[in-house]
Structure 1
């Protein structure tokens, strides 16, 4: 397994439950706070398959009853999950969630190698030999792992697919400017979403009395907003109609807050599977966060990929091509929905962010092979 994030660990758990031996090489030493804190309704069914639904429920994550949206007009709309048969959405502690997956994988006998990168792969008969390396000075050093299958869960960089000369179809490039701050007062359990001329915002309460506030915009605007610290970001937040007052009422301040910048490349691999390898999660396809389905779909892909690999290990002939078709079809559906969401917002047709997304930038560009 190349990568030990959510998609990689979920795939490892599924394979271990099927009786396969699994090694996971994860570049980070321990899960870190990452962009992406929302789980879509229905995720508990996917966690139950991993034997984790009860653990998840007791871990202090926060249920989300719906979304309050200011998009396309000055009026606030609502998308509630009260009647959704799949239940509520969830606001999670991302690090705690990944630690839960890692603990479950280890419990099932998965060998997890933290702070370890796959640095080379080569074919050897019916197996692939991967060289993995820990940081300089670590006791593991460099070792080789012989595997019948490799799963690329290395995120949008798609390290393994790149080694296979697989191109990536890029639809859009966005930047997320993220602040995680303490909440001193009360704050809604809903997710707040608001469009502005330069992009769109969302805010959500997450465990441990914290609030994540994110601005999604174009790279040029992002650079301008943080060119002199984060003063521009705070000014832009103060100009919002829905978020500013609610955050002020909740006692959210910049003191002690953590800031980070995340790159969002709405994209997919031109091919997500090949001879004895598959890509899952963001390595296979990275969605616009407006969909709020990244983790949900990563868990689904992990299950599908693991079943195919397990079938192959048992001597069967799994329909690998169908896995790629499914990923590409879902991504195409996402683009159609995304174009519809952005098309609703017509308050600022001359603003670059909205003009670009209404002028064909949502259509696929030719795939480029990253080497």
Structure 2
């Protein structure tokens, strides 16, 4: 028997549970499908101070007071980023106070319990869900449990937005190839939490961050690109250990602490669903827009998105403009990564820093446009990593395929091509094309093929 619902949500992480609870609190029938049982490791263990006011606005603060009282608050961030010398910043100067190192499994479980208390039905252990479009809405058929037909569908499956992309109503646009490899360290006795600091350390191939967890363990994460990670060894453990040996502060922090399980690798690409919403469906959390750890806290973004979706469910004009937000994020990312100048030609940093030959930051809004309309362009050679600061690798590959097929193309034709995978401001993309010309990836050609 098929059960009816007003809203069906696939994914029971922070975005799915927060959305389910918020909407159910307004009187709608909501069903949330969670693949597992909240008993496997989850990433995102450090939450910023902005979490507290978001929980208050969501209406979940009371549920989380006992939880947060058992977690580890932190007031100090030690950073080796843009300098050889560690810099310390206290959250005492932050208007919202300290953040928390949390047990993410317990955090997600607590948020799901809050959603249930608000009237949502959270179904765990359902396995993979198959979603199909019906005349009356969307039919969600889980591996375990009964199917539900919802009038409105929310994809909360994380990066890749697997539900809406499988339905063919949206595409996932990835702007980089970033991954995170995570190691867990623990002694027989709990690790002393000295200052409970968050440590951030930049290296040639990316950056590391580490933080103590409430159970006394220490989580250690390297963020890099997938093609760089594989150069460190034949398997995940070898890659993690080899990369760790190249650090200074991080390896000292874990020097007397054993790693208790093999490292785990997670996707951490910056990207978004396009479009992010339709008349009777939407994406939320990382399924709508994913950023790297330096681009903001994904859990906070999930809670904020749930609040916005609940307000905009009956007012479509209030739905967030994720394209504008993503463009702003790319600018913020370039500015932050531009602070690290020690490895200007290293692929990881070159792919993220919008700078000129003197390492001076460039604002794409101020760059003169020099591509002449009558000119035709051909492919000249392998693109250096620097061009990916302006155009995604997918966009560059699309240009390559287009020129390999036709020989030459006008700038406006190339612009139309890359807009399929980078639907951002025209000027931003034109500056990216100019960068390909400056790097001699594209050269002006005369061709009769087109």
In the superposition, the TM-score normalised over structure 1's length comes to 0.88
Q: Distance in 2 between matches of 1:328 and 1:40?
A: 24
Deviations 1:217-241 (A, max 9, x none): 1112222334145234223323322
Q: Distance in 1 between matches of 2:138 and 2:174?
A: 30
- Match 1:111 to one of 121, 142, 164: 121
2:140 alignment counterpart? 131
- Match 1:335 to one of 324, 330, 336: 330
Structure 2 CA distance for partners of 1:229 and 1:173, relative to 1, 3 Å: closer
Correspondence 1:307 to 2:307 = no
1:363 alignment counterpart? 390
The SS at the match of 1:149 is strand
Structure 2 CA distance for partners of 1:234 and 1:337, relative to 1, 3 Å: same
2:366 alignment counterpart? none
The alpha carbon displacement at 1:243 in A equals: 1.6
CA RMSD of aligned residues (A): 2.1
Q: Which has the larger radius of gyration?
A: 2
- Match 2:20 to one of 9, 12, 29: 12
Q: Residues 5-154 of structure 1: matches in 2 within 5 Å?
A: 5-59=13-67, 60-116=70-126, 117-124=128-135, 127-135=136-144, 140=145, 143-154=146-157
The alpha carbon displacement at 1:108 in A equals: 2.4
Structure 2 CA distance for partners of 1:348 and 1:176, relative to 1, 3 Å: same
The alpha carbon displacement at 1:181 in A equals: 1.7
Structure 2 CA distance for partners of 1:229 and 1:296, relative to 1, 3 Å: closer
CA contact (8 A) 1:118 1:133 kept: yes
Structure 2 CA distance for partners of 1:115 and 1:354, relative to 1, 3 Å: same
Deviations 1:249-290 (A, max 9, x none): xx4212x23521111121012211111111110100000112
1:259 alignment counterpart? 263
Structure 2 CA distance for partners of 1:79 and 1:336, relative to 1, 3 Å: farther
2:368 alignment counterpart? none
Deviations 1:180-227 (A, max 9, x none): 121544244121001111111000111100111001111122223341
The alpha carbon displacement at 1:154 in A equals: 1.1
Report the structure, 1 or 2, having the larger strand content: 1
1:315 alignment counterpart? none
The alpha carbon displacement at 1:324 in A equals: 3.9
1:323 alignment counterpart? 319
Q: Distance in 2 between matches of 1:272 and 1:20?
A: 22
The alpha carbon displacement at 1:31 in A equals: 4.5
Structure 2 CA distance for partners of 1:76 and 1:175, relative to 1, 3 Å: same
Range that drifts further, 353-362 or 171-180: 353-362
1:233 alignment counterpart? 240
Q: Distance in 2 between matches of 1:31 and 1:275?
A: 35
The SS at the match of 2:247 is coil
Structure 2 CA distance for partners of 1:226 and 1:55, relative to 1, 3 Å: farther
- Match 1:190 to one of 190, 193, 197: 197
Q: Distance in 1 between matches of 2:142 and 2:226?
A: 33
Q: Distance in 1 between matches of 2:239 and 2:154?
A: 41
The alpha carbon displacement at 1:300 in A equals: 0.1
Q: Which has the higher contact order (CA 8 A, sep 6+)?
A: 1
Q: Distance in 2 between matches of 1:146 and 1:201?
A: 44
- Match 2:284 to one of 280, 287, 295: 280
Structure 1 alignment gaps of length 5 or more: 313-317
Q: Distance in 1 between matches of 2:131 and 2:215?
A: 40
Deviations 1:61-104 (A, max 9, x none): 21121311101120111232102122212111100000101111
CA contact (8 A) 2:58 2:303 kept: no
Q: Residues 193-204 of structure 1: matches in 2 within 5 Å?
A: 193-204=200-211
2:340 alignment counterpart? 345
The SS at the match of 1:109 is coil
Aligned length: 349
